[in-house]
């Protein structure tokens, strides 16, 4: 029997509109989500709805005491922010990486992430 080549599965990394929440506090944005909703912004504001267990991420161009600066990213690098303080403020914990497809609420101007899904 001859050698067979192994092709690693990429798992769609960076494809699709996704936000990931890591146990360490990192909140990551897929490249597609960044391109669709965050390229024209410099900061985001984070919100939490305790009753519905939903996170709101509002893109903004203003630097304020309630905004988090987005890092500048290269062509193929992912974008992420540290949300450890956000997790702590609202008692959020994740045992493993949670990847969620958000919706964009035009009226509120923010990405809505349902943590129940």
Summarize pLDDT for 70-117 with one digit per residue, the tens. Answer: 987 665 566 899 999 999 999 999 999 999 999 999 999 999 999 998
Phi (first) and psi of residue 81, to 5 degrees: -125, 160
pLDDT value at 11 more than 60: no
pTM: 0.82
Please give the torsion angle defined by the CA atoms of residues 19, 93, 62 and 109, in that order, rounded to the nearest 10 degrees.
Answer: 50
Report residue 25's pLDDT band, with 50, 70 and 90 as the boundaries: very high
Look at residues 104, 110, 97, 113 and name the one whose alpha carbon lies nearest to residue 21: 97
């Amino acid at each position: 029997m001859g050698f067979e080549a192994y092709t690693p599965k990429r798992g769609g990394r960076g494809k699709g509109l996704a936000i990931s929440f890591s146990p360490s506090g990192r909140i990551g944005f897929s490249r597609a989500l960044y391109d669709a909703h965050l390229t024209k912004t410099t900061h985001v504001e984070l919100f939490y709805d305790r009753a519905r267990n939903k996170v709101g991420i509002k893109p903004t161009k203003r630097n304020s005491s309630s905004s988090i600066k987005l890092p500048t990213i290269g062509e193929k690098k992912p974008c992420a922010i540290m949300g450890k303080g956000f997790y702590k403020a609202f008692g959020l914990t994740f045992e493993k990486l949670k990847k969620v497809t958000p919706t964009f609420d035009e009226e509120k101007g923010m990405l809505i992430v349902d943590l129940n899904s």
